[in-house]
Structure 1
Amino acid sequence: MSKASTDSRRSESASETFSEHEPWAVPEADIAAWAEREKKRRQAWLEGPNEEEKQAWADAERQRRKRQYREDLLDIDLFDIDFEEGRRMADRMMTGFTNRMVETPLRKLGDLLREGRGAESRQRDPLRRRRRVHPDDND
């Protein structure tokens, strides 16, 4: 007899004696009951959903499709809009174009004018109020 077979027989007999006294040991009746419950659960799954489950899924799918339909309506498709909506969209685009092309250069011109006024006012200040900075001064 090999040492491995002797050791395995010892561990089997030891586990049998210890399993009777271990509080965490699982009896064969519990294992058989679990296996039966699991077999019934899997068989029911194979048979498919019952009418209540089918109806619940249909309700949930209907709600999902409604949400999707509403979201699709919110997305503007340029080919599906009516004339009034098209006119409003064109007005908005023209307003945006006018803003960009007219007001932005005028704002820049206004900024340049304000800067020029500031520079003139600094030039008019008396010399003692102006600070002179020489390129040689690094401190």
Structure 2
Amino acid sequence: MVNSDTNTLRNVRSDYFNAIQLASLQRLGNLYAPGNGCLPRFSDTGCIEYVDDVLESVEPDDVQLLGILLLVLRITPLFMISWLVTAMDNHHRYPEFIAGWLRLISLGMKGVIMSLYYSGLKGSDSQAQGVHDAMGYSLHCELD
């Protein structure tokens, strides 16, 4: 069975991640940004097309480690990933040697996902309303 989210990745190319890693990133994105009454779901925005733009400024070693994590998470059941996300959000409840790792993993995963989602960028095939439009966010400048 082919996941409908995977179909939205047909035209996505990355110099950093392969198709499996991109599918994992999109799966995580939908966990962090599932959409609601007004905000679109991560995968509906198509913002994953811009993943290379976000990763350009990231240290190569960090990109490689994130890629390994995405491979592992692709075969991890969703309930375990949800538990991991909850643990990362509640890192303060763990001993420091565990909390430090949870914060680091959270920064890597959540940073890329939220940077993409709130960038306001939409994929070429996206039919969803943009995140900025859904939030009523409009940036403009006026001369003094």
Same fold judged by TM-score > 0.5? no
Return the index of the structure with the highest Cα Rg.
Answer: 1
TM value normalised by structure 1:
0.20
Q: Which has the higher contact order (CA 8 A, sep 6+)?
A: 2
* Greater helix share, structure number: 1
